[in-house]
């Protein structure tokens, strides 16, 4: 029985560990992720086409004009966007797709597809978030402060999400998110073929 996949958005503060958890979800459970385009410079070790498509601002703006993004947003001075097309292609193949994107983009996706599962991930505390960003060592202190200020601004959007997951531990957080998606798939609206088969099967008991 071929079924359309489920689309999940995972948002959360920069440094909450979303990236690591999403990598685990791919490795352990075979979720598909979309590779975003960004105008941010690659961090050491990041490869074009793997972590992101690294593009110029001009190219990014051109792609917006061509309607080439499912969603796009600016985040702390750089643009980020999900290329259109790929996500639908994967969902149509029955794959469950995860978008690891910030809140403005998350809301755009939810607007276009109200049946998207919306998950918000937070680290155990604000202090822990600051330490993680400092220890990651990929941004200077000015950029870290901007990301922390942005984290506070993003708290305003939490109510637009369905689920909140605290990332105390990568493994537990990975399992929590997988459980949410597995349960989502049990909803009647994703199981119309099963529902029809049940009705057909029980019709034999119909009172005549």
Interacting residues toward ligand 5GP by CB under 6 A: 14, 18, 36, 40, 71, 73, 75, 80-82, 100-102, 104-105
Minimum distance of ligand 5GP from residue 145's CB (angstroms): 15
Minimum distance of ligand 5GP from residue 39's CB (angstroms): 10
Would you say 104 or 176 has its CB closer to ligand 5GP?
104
Q: Which residue is nearest to ligand 5GP (CB)?
A: 105
| Three-state secondary structure of 106-166 | HHHHHHHCCCCEEEEEECCCHHHHHHHHHHHCCCCHHHHHHHHHHHHHHHHHHHHCCEEEE
Would you say 96 or 102 has its CB closer to ligand 5GP?
102
Q: Are 72 and 79 in contact (CB under 8 A)?
A: yes
Minimum distance of ligand 5GP from residue 73's CB (angstroms): 4
Q: How far is CA 90 from the centre of its chain?
A: 14
Using CA atoms, how far apart are residues 191 and 114, in angstroms rounded to an integer? Answer: 17
Would you say 9 or 181 has its CB closer to ligand 5GP?
9
Minimum distance of ligand 5GP from residue 38's CB (angstroms): 6
Would you say 96 or 100 has its CB closer to ligand 5GP?
100
Would you say 84 or 180 has its CB closer to ligand 5GP?
84
Using CA atoms, how far apart are residues 190 and 94, in angstroms rounded to an integer? Answer: 12
């Amino acid at each position: 029985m071929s079924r359309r996949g489920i689309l999940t958005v995972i948002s959360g503060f920069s440094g909450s560990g979303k990236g690591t958890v999403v990598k685990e979800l791919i490795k352990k459970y075979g979720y598909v992720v979309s590779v975003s385009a960004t105008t941010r410079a690659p961090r050491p070790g990041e490869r074009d086409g793997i972590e992101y498509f690294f593009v110029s601002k001009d190219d990014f703006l051109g792609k917006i004009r061509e309607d080439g993004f499912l969603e796009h947003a600016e985040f702390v001075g750089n643009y980020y966007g999900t290329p259109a097309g790929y996500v639908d292609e994967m969902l149509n193949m029955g794959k469950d797709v995860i978008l690891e994107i910030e809140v403005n983009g998350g809301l755009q996706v939810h607007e276009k597809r109200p049946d998207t599962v919306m998950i918000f991930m937070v680290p155990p505390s604000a202090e822990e978030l600051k330490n993680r960003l400092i220890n990651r060592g990929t941004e200077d202190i000015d950029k870290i402060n901007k990301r922390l200020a942005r984290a506070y601004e993003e708290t305003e959007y939490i109510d637009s999400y369905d689920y909140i997951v605290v990332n105390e531990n990568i493994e537990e957080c990975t399992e929590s998110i997988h459980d949410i998606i597995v349960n989502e798939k049990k909803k009647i609206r994703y199981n119309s073929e099963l529902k029809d088969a049940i009705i057909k099967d029980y019709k034999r008991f119909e009172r005549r």
